[in-house]
Amino acid sequence: MGFGGPTPHFPLGNIREMKVDTKIINNDASSSLVISHNIHPIVFPYFARWQKSHGKVFVYCLGKEPFLYITEPNFLQKMSSKVHGNKWGKPNMFKHDRKPMFGSRLAMASLILETATKMLERWTTLINSGKPEMDVEREISGMTGMIIARATFGLRNEKGSEVFEKLRAMQFTLFNSNRYVGVPFSHWICPKKNLEAKKLGKEID
């Protein structure tokens, strides 16, 4: 059985619709005083609209590349239980490459606990010193970066923070340059950003 979804248009696929929906929701949000915790239709208005017309599983296109959108847990459960490991390509290679991240759950738990405890101790010191104001988002991002750097690369302290900062910079650079992913010759649309991402990649390596 095939999947439904919004009709793509060459050469952008569904990108034009996505940009229009985002612009509309941003204009509405700026003039609205209503606060909602349901951020999905605000952040991804096009997915929310397509869910209403195509259901919880559908295909959309970025350029000429199709992507499967899934928000149906039963579908994921069925797919993961019915498809064996040897159908996913090269499972042994996949497992070996990602062993530092998933090799030992107990080690990961202790690593997360240790890093989070240090962060909370630092917060306690700040509060006791009479300076209770802190940038929570930056603190949590830094903690996450340290966990990722230590778990993935085995790095600690300054080196770990440096690698994570470069990874974040690459993330934002790729996000800006890959908005036209799947569009033919899209790598020529943002050549400066692509070169910047390659440079960051070499520095991280």
Per-position DSSP letters for 51-97, written without gaps between them: HHHH-SEEEEEETTEEEEEE--HHHHHHHHHHS-GGGSS-HHHHHHH
Q: What is the pLDDT of residue 183?
A: 65
Q: Is residue 89 part of a domain?
A: no
Q: Is residue 36 part of a domain?
A: yes
- Residues shown for the chain: 205
Q: What is the pLDDT of residue 131?
A: 75
Q: C-alpha distances in angstroms, 157 versus 139, 161, 189?
A: 14, 6, 37
Both 140 and 179 in one domain: the answer is yes
Q: C-alpha distances in angstroms, 114 versus 59, 76, 146?
A: 42, 33, 11
Both 68 and 109 in one domain: the answer is no
Q: Is residue 165 part of a domain?
A: yes
Q: Is residue 87 part of a domain?
A: no
Q: Is residue 64 part of a domain?
A: yes
- Distance, CA of 1 to CA of 84 (rounded, Å): 20
Phi, psi angles (nearest 5°) of residue 60: -130, 165
Both 72 and 129 in one domain: the answer is no
Tally of domains within the chain: 2
Look at residue 35 and give its three-state secondary structure. coil
- Distance, CA of 23 to CA of 125 (rounded, Å): 44
The domain containing residue 53 runs over which residues? 15-82
Look at residue 146 and give its three-state secondary structure. helix
Both 70 and 115 in one domain: the answer is no
Phi, psi angles (nearest 5°) of residue 168: -65, -40
- Distance, CA of 115 to CA of 141 (rounded, Å): 12
pLDDT 10s digits, 126-171: 888 887 788 887 788 778 877 877 776 665 655 666 776 777 777 6
Both 185 and 113 in one domain: the answer is yes
Q: Is residue 114 part of a domain?
A: yes
Both 73 and 151 in one domain: the answer is no
Q: What is the pLDDT of residue 180?
A: 59
Both 111 and 188 in one domain: the answer is yes
Q: C-alpha distances in angstroms, 15 versus 6, 9, 60, 179, 193?
A: 11, 9, 9, 8, 19
Domain boundary among 32, 51, 82: 82
Q: Is residue 43 part of a domain?
A: yes
End-to-end alpha carbon distance in the chain: 43
Of 40, 80, 42, 33, the residue nearest 56 (C-alpha): 40
Q: What is the pLDDT of residue 90?
A: 57
Both 63 and 23 in one domain: the answer is yes
Both 144 and 73 in one domain: the answer is no
Both 122 and 196 in one domain: the answer is yes
Task: Give the chain's residues under pLDDT 70.
Answer: 1, 29-34, 82-107, 152-161, 164, 171-172, 174-191, 204-205
Of 16, 142, 60, the residue nearest 150 (C-alpha): 142
Both 23 and 73 in one domain: the answer is yes
Single-letter amino acid code for the residue at 116: A
Q: What is the pLDDT of residue 121?
A: 92
Q: What is the pLDDT of residue 30?
A: 60
- What are the tokens at 37? 């915790």
Both 65 and 112 in one domain: the answer is no
Say if pTM beats, i.e. exceeds, 0.85: no
